[in-house]
Amino acid sequence: MADLPWLTIVGLSEAGADDLSGRARQALETAELVLGAARHLSLLPRLTCEVREWPVPFADGVPLLLAERGRRVVMLASGDPFWFGAGTSITRHLAREEWIAHPAPSSFALAAARLGWAVQDVACLGLHAASFTRLRPQLAPARRLLVLVRDGSAVAELAGYLGAQGFGASTVHVLEALGGPRERVRTTQAAAFALDDIAHPVAVGIDVAGDGAVLPLTAGRPDSWFDSDGQLTKQPVRALTLSALAPRPGELLWDIGAGSGSIGIEWLLAHPANRAIAVEADAVRAERARGNAAGLGVERLIVLEGCAPDILPEGTPDAVFIGGGLSQALLEALWARLPAGTRVVANAVTLESEALLAQWHGAAGGSLLRIELADAVPLGTRHGWRARYPVVQWSVTR
């Protein structure tokens, strides 16, 4: 036992000690200290070592745990600590050789087993402390979702959200205290939801149904998805712009002159690991961009208020889009900051901005694209073409 890590993270199901693996049992039997939430400790009433309840908020317990280095400590967590669990909140502070984990079946696995759903075909979300708007990109008829929420009242709020989005016809499976003696599974419809005695912990299975709007998967979503005062990169140009920006998993975008935030939002929708920071000079537009991001489930969009280049984000991005505020000073500031390999895309509408992009294209290379679009509009009893303002797009890799 002397060569084992000082910290063991033990995952618990509602069955408590009955579901523990042999190694998890051994860790508890040899522990000098067990730390866990009150609910977790109540599942293991026969502990003989020192026991401490984990404080609320959770972050307050991290330094208390780290102060116990040198003792043999067990930390209790729910189910699989590394699937929407507390595991990484602890292990990010530790060297790999300092800890070991023994997970129990996750709530997602137990819920899928009760419903007969294939986990690989289901969207799994942990929304204990997150907005239900994170569900928005997932809402499409025939989709199945498994969602963890904070308590019983949150299930009713979730049903209300589904109804407000036009998916009140969805079937809602309420799965309480899975794996333990209090386990209960009930099924109802979101629009008819009336359960008021839901026990914690709770998972929710959703068979999505209804005629609500479905967010497309491809870049260049319809303009109607974005609240705007007109400062919006319109759908066809946005699709071409995202194509030029070429988002890859885990990358960071600077969206300068963000307007309604549509470019940064679509960058984030491209992959859940993507990050984006928007810079917007107008406070009203900045708040609108935040609202658009939250409504589409990507509230992780960071919006900075101010004028570039006077204000630029910290760090270095993988890609930069300039949709507003294009100037010689901004391009010079970016060229001084950005490392080699950074992708830069700038859109221009005015003659002055177009001339600036032509000048920089000549000096720095890349590609220059003129986008000319026209819409069919009524012309007497027939139709004709009404041209939009052309957009010149410069894309280059630094």
Q: What is the CATH number of the domain that holds 53?
A: 3.40.1010.10
Helix (H, G, I), strand (E, B) or coil at 33: strand
Low-confidence ranges of the chain (pLDDT < 70): 1-3
Residues 236 and 307 in one domain: yes
Dump pLDDT digits (tens) for 35-59.
Answer: 999 999 999 999 999 999 999 999 9
Q: How many domains does the chain have?
A: 3
User: Would residue 213 count as lying in a domain?
Assistant: no
- Whether 217 maps to a domain, the answer reads no
Which long-range contacts does 25-34 make (Cβ < 8 Å, 24+ apart)? 27/74, 27/102, 28/74, 30/1, 30/72, 31/72, 31/73, 31/74, 32/71, 32/72, 32/73, 33/68, 33/71, 33/72, 33/73, 33/74, 34/73, 34/74, 34/75, 34/76
**Residue 212 in domain:** no
The answer to whether residue 370 sits within a structural domain is yes
Angle, helix 283-295 to helix 262-270, in steps of 10 degrees: 30
Which pTM value belongs to this model?
A: 0.92
Residues 232, 202 share a domain: no
Same domain, 243 and 384: yes
- The answer to whether the beta carbons of residues 47 and 34 sit under 8 Å apart is yes
Residues 72 and 91 in one domain: yes
Which helix (H) or strand (E) covers residue 232, if one does? none
Torsion of CA 74, 78, 82, 84, to 10 degrees: -140
Q: Are residues 33 and 47 in the same domain?
A: yes
CATH number for the domain that contains residue 120: 3.30.950.10
Would 19 be classed as within a structural domain? yes
Residue 36's H or E segment, with its range, is strand 33-36
Last residue of a domain, one of 63, 87, 105: 105
Give the pLDDT of residue 372: 96
pLDDT of residue 17: 85
Residue 264 located in a structural domain: yes
In a domain, 216, yes or no: no
191 assigned to some structural domain: yes
Cβ pair 73, 8 in contact under 8 A: yes
Residues 240 and 357 in one domain: yes
- How does DSSP assign 113-177, residue by residue? HHHT--GGGSEEEE-SSS-GGGGGGG--TT-EEEEEESSHHHHHHHHHHHHHTT-TT-EEEEEES
Q: Which of 142, 174, 207 is the last residue of a domain?
A: 207
How confident is the model at residue 18, as a pLDDT? 84
The predicted pLDDT at position 129 comes to 86
Looking at residue 287, what is its pLDDT?
A: 97
Q: Is residue 188 domain-shared with residue 229, that is, in the same domain?
A: no
Domain membership of residue 31 as a residue range: 7-105
Domain of 312, CATH number, reads: 3.40.50.150
CA distance 190 to 209: 10
Total residues belonging to the chain: 398
Last residue of a domain, one of 152, 183, 207: 207
Question: Looking at the structure, do residues 261 and 346 belong to the same domain, yes or no?
Answer: yes
Tokens at residue 209, please?
A: 């149904």
Cβ neighbours, 10 Å, residue 306:
13
Give me the pLDDT at residue 146, please: 98
What local confidence, expressed as pLDDT, does residue 1 receive?
46
57 in the same domain as 154: no
One domain, residues 243 and 345: yes
Query: Helix (H, G, I), strand (E, B), or coil: what is residue 302?
Result: strand
CB distance 232 to 259 below 8 Å: yes
What separation in angstroms does the CA of 60 have from each of 24, 90, 145?
25, 12, 32
Are 120 and 38 part of one and the same domain? no
Whether 125 and 198 map to the same domain: the answer is yes
CA angle 48, 53, 59 (to 5 degrees): 140
